[in-house]
A and B are shown apart, each in its own frame.
Chain A
Amino acid sequence: MTELVRVDNVSKVFDISPPLWHRVLTRQPKRLVQAVDNVSMSIEAGQTYALVGESGSGKSTLARTIVGLTPPTSGSVWFDGALLAGATHKAVAPSVRRQVQMIFQSPYASLNPRWRVGDIVAEPIRAFGLSDRRQASRRVDELLEQVGLASSDAARFPHEFSGGQRQRISIARALASEPRFIVCDEPTSALDVSVQAQVLNLLKQLQRDLGLTYLFITHDLAVVRTMAHQIGVMKQGALVEAQSADALFASPQHAYTQMLLDSAPIVSPKASRSGQL
C-alpha cells in the first residue's frame, strides 16, 4: 500500500469576533472557533477514506482545507510528496492541483445554471490547458458517456436534468482534469435512495477503472459501509478515531463512534434495538 495523501497536524481556526471597534469599545476579547483541531491522517492510493461525524464536527472544513479552498491555520497537506495545502502562502504547483478535484453536496448549487453542460465539463480542461478546443469537445463527449450520460447532453443546460443526472455532470467535471484524488463532500445526501445507489455504484466503478482515491464525507454510516476502506470519525474538530472499516464496524473504540453506530436507523425491524415495533 502506498500513501497518496498525507494530512499533517492540520488546524483551522475561524475568527468570529465582532468588528474591531465594537470589540475595543465593549472590551471583548477575540472570539475564535477551532473548526479543525490538529488532525493528522494518511490516505492510501486507490482506496476510499470516509470522514464521518455530525453536523458541525468539522468534516467539511477539513475537506475544504485539504483541497486548498481554505488555507489551514497551521499544518500542511501533502499529495504524493508535493505540497497541496499549507499555512504558508506557498503556491501549489498546477501539476499537483490538477490531480485533486472535488464533488459537492448539492448538485443544484454546484453547477452554473447559465452554462451549457459541455462548457461546465470542459472548464477544467481549459483551465489547465490540457488540450485544444477540438480535442476538448471530444473529451467532453467521452466523459459524459463515462458517467452514464449521452454526448448530446453537452448542449443542454443543468436545469434540464434531475438531481442524480446533475451529480453525474459534477462527476464528469471532476474527472475532466484526470485527477488521482477526488474529495466527495456528501455527494448523495441530496439524492433519493434508488438514485443514490446509481451514483455510489458509478463512483465505485470509476475507482476500479481509473484507480481513483476518494476522501468521502458523509454522515450516513450505511453509505460509509458500502464505500469506505478506511474511516475517520470526527467530533468537535478532532479526529477521535481512525481505523479500517472492518475493524471500526466490528469494534468501535471511541464512545462517540459507538453512539453514532447505535443511533443509525436500522433497516431491518427484526434487528431493531427497542424491539417494540
Chain B
Amino acid sequence: MSALEVRDLTVEFPTRRGVLRALDGVSFDVEQGEILGLVGESGAGKSMTGAALMGLLEPPGRIVGGSIHLHGESVVGRAQEFRGRHFGMVFQDPLTSLNPLKTIGAQLIETIQWHFNLGAQQAELRARNALAEVGLDPDRLNAYPHEFSGGMRQRVVVALALSAEPAVLIADEPTTALDVSIQAQILDLLKALCRERNTAVILITHDMGVVAQTTDRVGVMYAGRLIEIGQTDQIINRPAHPYTQGLMASTPTLAGDVSTDLYQIAGSMPRLDAIPAGCAFNPRCTHVMPKCRSERPPMTGGRACWLEATHD
C-alpha cells in the first residue's frame, strides 16, 4: 500500500458567477521515501492540491469529491488531526512562514511540545538536534528569523516541518525565492533528510530544472487536472502528452543558442470559468482531433490523451 493515496480529488469554489472547479479528478499515489513532483503553470492547480491535502483551502473552496488516504486512513474532513503531525508543509517564502517576534528556538520548541509530550529540556534538546540536522549551528536557537539569510531561514522552516516527524512533507515552491546556489543546497537537504527518514514528499514547483534534479516521479497538471504522471526521467526525456512535450520544448536550456527561437505553445491556459469541453488542452494542441473537443480523455498508462501512443 502506498503511503498516500489520492483518488479523484475534486475541489470547487462556488462563486456568484457559477461554480469554479479548481481541481478536477486528481489521482496519484506517493510511496514512503519517494519524492513526487507536481509541475504546472500558474493556476494549474498544483498549490491547490497541496492546500487540499493540508486542509488549508480558502473558503468557500471545498473538497466536493474523491478521497485522500494516509496509510489507509481517510484524511478528508479530519485535516486538523493530520496537519503538522502527519502532513508537514514548507511554503515558498521563508520569511512569512516564521514568526518575526519569536526566536527560532521558541518556535521549534512550541511545535515539538505541541506534537509530543516532552519537558522543556527534552524539547530543547530535540530542537537543537533539528537545527543540526538541517545544517545550522544549534547554538543559534536564540536567534530571530531576521538574523538569518533567506536560505538559512528556509532551513529553519524545513526543520520546523520535519520536527513532528510527518509521514508526508508537502513543499510548495520551497526554493523559488532563493538564488540558484542556495536552491541547490536546500533541494539536496530536502532530498537527503527525506530519504533518511523515509518521508513521502510532494514537491510543488513550476521549474523543470528543480524537478529533474530532485524528484523520482512527476505529475504534470493543467487547468486543475493531472494530465500526465510517470518516472522523472521518462517525463523529461520522453514526454507523452502534447502539453508536456510543448512545456519541455519551450523550457530554455544551457544547450540552446541565440540564433534559434524557443518552441512556443500558442495561447494560454484557460481560466477556470472557461475550461473547454473534452480535453482542457485541446484549443492549444497541435494534434487535436474531433474526439478531443467532446470527450475528456481518461488517465491511461500515465497520460490523459486521446492520441495513440507513439512510443513505449
Q: Range of interface residues on chain B?
A: 35 or more
Q: Is B110 an interface residue (CB 8 A)?
A: no
Are the CB atoms of A222 and B268 closer together than 8 Å? no
Task: Determine chain B's interface SS by DSSP, over half rule.
Answer: loop
Contact between B261 and A204, CB atoms less than 8 A apart: yes
Of B209, B216, B260, the most chain A CB neighbours within 10 A belong to: B209
Shortest CB-to-CB span from A246 to chain B, Å, is 8
**Residues of B near any A CB (own CB < 8 A):** 41-42, 179-181, 183-184, 188, 206-210, 212-213, 215-216, 232-233, 236-237, 246-248, 250-258, 260-265, 268
Nearest CB of chain B from residue A256's CB, rounded to whole Å:
10
A273's nearest neighbour on chain B, judged by CB, is B213
Task: Say if the beta carbon of A277 comes within 8 Å of chain B.
Answer: yes
Report whether A268 and B212 are in contact in the complex, using a CB–CB cutoff of 8 Å.
yes
Stretch at the interface among A3-11, A87-95, A188-196: A188-196
Contact status A201-B264, CB under 8 Å = yes
Provide the bound-state CA to CA distance between A223 and B258, in Å: 10
Chain A residue nearest to B258 (CB atoms) is A229
For residue B236, which residues in chain A have a CB less than 8 angstroms away from its CB?
A: 267-269
CB < 8 Å neighbour of A194 from B233, B247, B256? B247
Main secondary structure of the interface of A (DSSP, over half): helix
* A265 and B181 within 8 A (CB): no
Chain A residue with Cβ nearest B41 = A192
Q: Using Cβ atoms and an 8 Å threshold, which residues of chain A touch B184?
A: 263, 265
Nearest CB in chain A: distance from B143 CB, A: 21
* Contact of B253 with A227 in the complex, beta carbons under 8 Å: no
- Cα distance, A219 to B178, chains bound together (Å): 11
A164 at the interface (CB under 8 A from B): yes
The chain A residue with its CB closest to the CB of B175 is: A265
| Residue from the set A164, A198, A205, A260 with the largest chain B CB neighbour count within 10 Å | A198
A267 CB to nearest B CB, Å: 5
Q: Which residue of A lies closest to B150 (CB)?
A: A55
